[in-house]
Amino acid sequence: MEKQKNKEINEFLQKGYEYGFETDIESETLPPGINEDVIKIISAKKEEPEFLLNWRLKAFAHWKTLKSPEWSQLNIDPIDYQSISYFSKPKQDDGPKSLDEVDPKLLETYEKLGIPLHERAKLAGVAVDAVFDSVSVVTTFKDKLAEAGVIFCSFSEAVQDHPELIKKYLGKVVPYRDNYFAALNAAVFSDGTFVYIPKGVRCPMELSTYFRINEAKTGQFERTLIVADEDSYVSYLVGCTAPMRDENQLHAAVVELIALNDAEIKYSTVQNWYPGDEKGKGGIYNFVTKRGDCRGENSKISWTQIETGSAITWKYPSCILRGDNSSGEFHSIALTNNLQQADTGTKMIHLGKNTKSKIISKGISAKSSQNTYRGLVSMSKGASQSRNYTQCDSLLIGNKSGAHTFPSINVNNTSSTLEHEATTSKISDDQLFYCQQRGIDEEDAIGLIVSGFCKEVLNELPMEFAVEARALLQVNLEGAIG
């Protein structure tokens, strides 16, 4: 049945070519531009079921009616959506052939970050498959997960193997109508990740370990869906401390998390994409929609993010606290240097009774960068006895950078409690002098002071990542003073 449909789509597409759409369906990359045909080709190449193609087309139709939003505290050069190629398979042989061909500066950074030797080649984009025996490692992980009944695969695989789950949960937390970039992502998303943790299962490993080795390369329009069924637990860490090679300027990913009764999802991100040069040229735009749905009673979703890369970061990982007694957390470090801009924060939407949320945001701005916290805490009428605690700290380095805070609070009941604390501080000359008098040079001193400032968030990361994240903050602050 499914095959038959695919055949029809293919035939339709073949026909399309007669009318001048000049693309070989076998080719690995589509020419730049976006239209319905492009979406049909993407869907056909992935042999997607009809419901998914229809969903993409509806999203595209909706996207066409939208305008790029302008309410943020960001300066964004106009994006030409017709100049982007919406489907390209990563080529195996256009990268460097060995580590000897990789920019020594990049290798130096890996060294500073303490990235294990066997991962460096992969991160630097060295085009050799299985240069190290990670394949067997990955297989071991996969076996272990399968034994526990955990589904953990690419989005495309999930569409083929578990279409019923995709159909049930896709777009239910971030509908394509949600916003401009969510609509665009829904129309053209290339691939991503799907995770399903069955009832009563505690995922036997941190899903980060696998990622570090296997998924260093992320797509431009990535889509992640994580479903934690009743009474299950999963901790997922995506991203990488090492700066990644990437030619795509716009990244518009969507992440949806769903936690059913008594389930818990911990989602951590480390984002260190190319921020552009000192004049702000050439950096990545990271416009991501991330939202978690605490659908079940006693469910819990916790976001942790370390955002140090990208020219522009624009994202608000949020929680919908629908189930009674559910809780949401947001722990964030956003560091901007040079001309980087970040407009990030969270939304905690309290719907269920006795729901709890906690927001810890640490913004660090150096040089001429701009760092904005934007957040919403909303307590609906039914969210009686709910609580929120927000702590929002900004640290300024030098005297040209900016920190902005836009917290919104809506309360529609009389039994909820909210606390909001905010501080803005500067690294003082006295602090630097104190460190230097103890033999620590200025750059290391800034690194130490910043890691102290970020402690509560760094503590949320798995141990080995916390060490790397500290190093990452320091590396990204090089030259922050002076």
Partner 1 sequence: MNNKKENVLEINDLSVSTSGSKILKGLNLSIRKGETHAIMGPNGSGKSTLAKTIAGHTDYEINNGTIKFLGNDLVSIPIEERSNLGLFLGFQYPIEIPGLSNTAFLKAAINAQRKYNDLKDIPANEFLLELKSKADQLGLDQSFLSRGVNEGFSGGEKKRNEILQMLMLNPKLSILDETDSGLDIDSMKIVADGVNSTRNEETSTIVITHYERLLNYLEPDYVHVINDGRIIKTGDSTLANELEEKGYEWLTKKK
Please give the residue ranges that form the binding site for partner 1 (CB under 8 A).
428-431, 433-442, 444, 448-449, 451-456
Nearer to partner 1 among residue 419 and residue 456 (C-beta): 456
Smallest distance, partner 1 to C-beta of residue 388, A: 23
The CA-CA-CA angle for residues 218, 371, 178, to 5°, reads: 55
Nearer to partner 1 among residue 320 and residue 449 (C-beta): 449
Which pair of tokens denotes residue 312? 């522009």
Which pair of tokens denotes residue 151? 């589904």
Smallest distance, partner 1 to C-beta of residue 467, A: 11
Nearer to partner 1 among residue 84 and residue 466 (C-beta): 466
Strands 191-197, 151-154: pairing kind: antiparallel
Which one-letter amino acid corresponds to residue 25? I
Q: Which of 214, 117, 224, 108 is nearest to 173 (CA)?
A: 224
Nearer to partner 1 among residue 102 and residue 466 (C-beta): 466
Structural contact between residues 419 and 386, judged by C-beta atoms closer than 8 angstroms: no
Nearer to partner 1 among residue 336 and residue 474 (C-beta): 474
Which one-letter amino acid corresponds to residue 284? I
Nearer to partner 1 among residue 262 and residue 393 (C-beta): 393
Smallest distance, partner 1 to C-beta of residue 53, A: 51
Nearer to partner 1 among residue 351 and residue 427 (C-beta): 427
Nearer to partner 1 among residue 121 and residue 445 (C-beta): 445
Q: Could you tell me which residues come within 8 angstroms of residue 407 by beta carbon, excluding any fewer than 6 positions away? A: 373, 374, 375, 376, 377, 390, 392, 420, 422
Nearer to partner 1 among residue 102 and residue 445 (C-beta): 445
Smallest distance, partner 1 to C-beta of residue 304, A: 16
What end-to-end distance do the CA atoms of the chain give, in Å? Answer: 66
Smallest distance, partner 1 to C-beta of residue 110, A: 19
Smallest distance, partner 1 to C-beta of residue 346, A: 21
Phi, psi of 359 (to 5 degrees): -125, 120
Smallest distance, partner 1 to C-beta of residue 52, A: 47
Which one-letter amino acid corresponds to residue 213? I
Q: Residue 238, class by beta-carbon neighbours within 10 Å (0-12 exposed, 13-18 middle, 19+ buried)?
A: buried
Nearer to partner 1 among residue 216 and residue 448 (C-beta): 448
Query: With left for phi above 0 and alpha for psi between -120 and 50, is residue 354 left, alpha or beta?
Result: left
Which one-letter amino acid corresponds to residue 448? L
Smallest distance, partner 1 to C-beta of residue 452, A: 3
